[in-house]
Amino acid sequence: MSTSLLNCLVTGASGFLGQSLVAALRQQGHRVRAFDLRPSPEPDSTAMVGDLRRAADVAAACQGIDTVFHTASYVGWLPADAATIHDVNVNGTANLIRACQAAGVRRLVYTGSIDAVFEGRPIRLGDETLPYARRPLNTYSRTKGVAEQAVLAANDPAGLQTCALRTAGIFGPGDRHRLPSVINLARQGQALRLGSGQARFNHVYVGNVVHAHVLAASALALRPAGAPPAGRAYFIVDDEPTNFYDFVGEFLQALGYAPPTRSLPYRPAYLLAALLEAAQRLGLKLPPTVQQFTRYTVAATCVEFSFSHARATQDFGYEPQTGRAEAVATTLAWLRAAGYGVDGNPAG
C-alpha cells in the first residue's frame, strides 16, 4: 500500500490537518507536494505556494499528481466574511475539480464536515442517510455542503474517483484554534457553559483523521473502479461522543484552569446569538470573543450533535487508531509545550 497513492498533493498543507497529513504521508514513503497560501513547514515535502481561487495556481499544483487530499477551506463565522468563505470553499473546490480532471488525477479525497447536515436540530448517532442541511446556520456550513456535493458529483469510475470524509471537531497536537480558544477564554475569566450539559458532540483526534484519509485514498486506488468509497461521503469520528464542556473541561483542569461554572440556558443563549448576528450584519463592531457567540456555536453545544463511523468501518476499514486516553495525553503534552498551561504563554 506504500506505493498505491503514488504522487500526492495536499491542499491546505500548512493548516492543522494538512501538516499532520503531509507528515504521515512522507513517513509512509509517499511523494508529497504541499499546496497552500504559505510554504509547508514539513522539510521533506515539495512546497508550492498558491491560492485555490486562482485557477492557474491550482492547475500547476495538479500537474503530475495521482492522488489529491483537499483539506483546505476557509473557516469563519462573521457575516462580513461570507463572500470570501464562498469563494474559497465553493469556487476554490470547483477550480480543483477541473484541474484534477484536466491533469488526469486519479483520486480526490475531500475533507468535509459534519456541519454539512446540521440545521440546529438534534442528531443522535447520525449516519450517511441524513440529507444535506436546507437551512444551515452559517455560510461555512452551507459551503461545505455545496463543495462536497460538487466533489461527489465529479466521481467518474473511468477517470477521477472521489469521496468525502465528514470530520467532527478535530483536536490534537498542532491545534491553534479549537482548544486554544477555550483556554484563552478561561485565562480571561470569560468561560461560560451553555445548555443543560446533556447534549453530546463528537470530537476526533487528528491522527485518526489522517488515518481515515489514507485508508480512503488507498481503497480508491486498490479496489475496482466505482467500488466504495468512490462517490460516497463518510462521517469520521472517534468512538464515543461526550458533552462539549465535559470534553474541554478535562483539558482545562489538567492545564490548571477552573472549568466554567457560569451557565446560560439554551433558548436564551440562542436568542442572544441571533441578536448579535443581526447586529453584525447591520455593521456593528463587536469584540472578537462576542463575534464567536453565534447560533451555530450555541446549537452545536446545546443540542445532540453526534454521528457514527460505522459506514466508514464497513467500506474501507476505518477504526480510530488512537484511543481517547492516549489522544488526550498526547494533546496535553503538546499544549503544555506550546505554553498553554496556567503558567505558560502560548508559543507564536
Please list the active-site residues: 140
Query: Rounded distance, CA 304 to CA 19, Å?
Result: 31
Beta strands in the chain (DSSP E): 7-11, 31-36, 46-49, 67-70, 107-113, 123-126, 161-167, 169-171, 193-194, 203-205, 233-236, 263-264, 305-307
DSSP structure string for 282-298? TT----HHHHT--HHHH
Cell triple for residue 71?
483539506
Count of Cβ atoms closer than 10 Å to residue 93 Cβ:
26
CA dihedral 102, 103, 108, 111 (to 10 degrees): -80
**Radius of gyration, alpha carbons of the chain:** 20
